[in-house]
Structure 1
Amino acid sequence: MTWAPHVTVATIVERDNRFLMVYEDSDGKLVYNQPAGHLDPDETLHQAAIRETLEETGWTVKLTGVVGVNLYTAPSNGVTYLRTTFIGEALSHDPQRKLDTGIIEAVWLTYEELVARKDQLRSPMTLQIIDDYRAGRRFPLEVIG
């Protein structure tokens, strides 16, 4: 039997003490998450993070670092995700851009607002990786080949 985790990326973007998040429909449940998604064929992890952030939020970002590479097995379906979370700087926004299917809106939330919505987060990793970021966990982009 072959086991293969799903390769995903996410981006933490902070501006004015607020984090760029997506409010989305995930299997019929409305949740908050970082801009995130799957790696497409023939793209790098860096390219995937920039693309997913734009597709889900309308924001163009410049990647500045990496928070971490984490494994998460979803209890709902048993799928394991290998997620690389990048740090991004917001460069420009296209408010007319159509967002990915399932995305209701992109929102900027403070850490306190995220904690208050803990039960509405897509997974425990959503807040954990922000906690890692806030604790100063940073790696250079070059750590990811």
Structure 2
Amino acid sequence: MDWNPHITVATIVEDRGRFLLVEELKGGRLVLNQPAGHLEADETLRQAAVRETLEETGWEVELTGVVGIYLYTAPSNGVTYQRVCFAARALRHHPQRPLDSGIVAAPWLSRAELAVQPQRWRSELVLRCIDDYLAGPTHGLSVIRD
């Protein structure tokens, strides 16, 4: 059996109790996720998180910590993902910047607003990462060794 886990990053960006999310088309439906994506060649995990957040939301961010590292197998296709989830602070928004293909919007939602619509989560990691962030503590960025 050939098994190749995918390395991904995600970013939790909170501002006054609201979280930056992406609304994207996946499998013909609109789903909610953190700004997230795959690690690219010759890129560090930190660079990937900052890049994906900017490309998917138009927000420049500063990483502040590591929320956790997650292993998730998608029931829809059996693909296993290793997600490194970062916490970040929003710095600057570029509203005129075009968002990545498939991204419809970058809404800010409270945990409660997100929790009542589980049918729209891209995966259960969406709420789990926010809950882990809220429960704390986040880990220092030095835990990531480039």
Q: What TM-score range do you get, normalising by the shorter chain?
A: over 0.9
Aligned 1:1-145 pairs, distance under 5 A: 1-145=1-145
The root-mean-square deviation of aligned C-alpha atoms, in Å, is 0.7
Q: State the Cα deviation string for residues 53-110 of structure 1 (Å, max 9, x = none).
A: 0000000000000000000000000000000000010000000000000000000001
Secondary structure in 1 matching 2:128? helix
Segments of 5+ residues of structure 2 without an aligned counterpart are none
Number of residue-to-residue matches in the alignment: 145
- Identity, in percent, stands at 61
Q: Normalising by the residue count of structure 2, what TM-score does the alignment of the two structures yield?
A: 0.97
TM superposition shift of 1:137? 3.2
TM superposition shift of 1:28? 1.0
TM superposition shift of 1:132? 0.7
Return the alpha-carbon distance in structure 2 between the equivalents of residues 68 and 4 of structure 1: 21
Secondary structure in 1 matching 2:107? strand
Return the alpha-carbon distance in structure 2 between the equivalents of residues 28 and 74 of structure 1: 17
TM superposition shift of 1:2? 3.5
Name the amino acid aligned to 1:40: E
TM superposition shift of 1:4? 1.6
Q: Normalising by the residue count of structure 1, what TM-score does the alignment of the two structures yield?
A: 0.98
Return the alpha-carbon distance in structure 2 between the equivalents of residues 3 and 122 of structure 1: 22
Name the amino acid aligned to 1:42: D
TM superposition shift of 1:136? 1.2
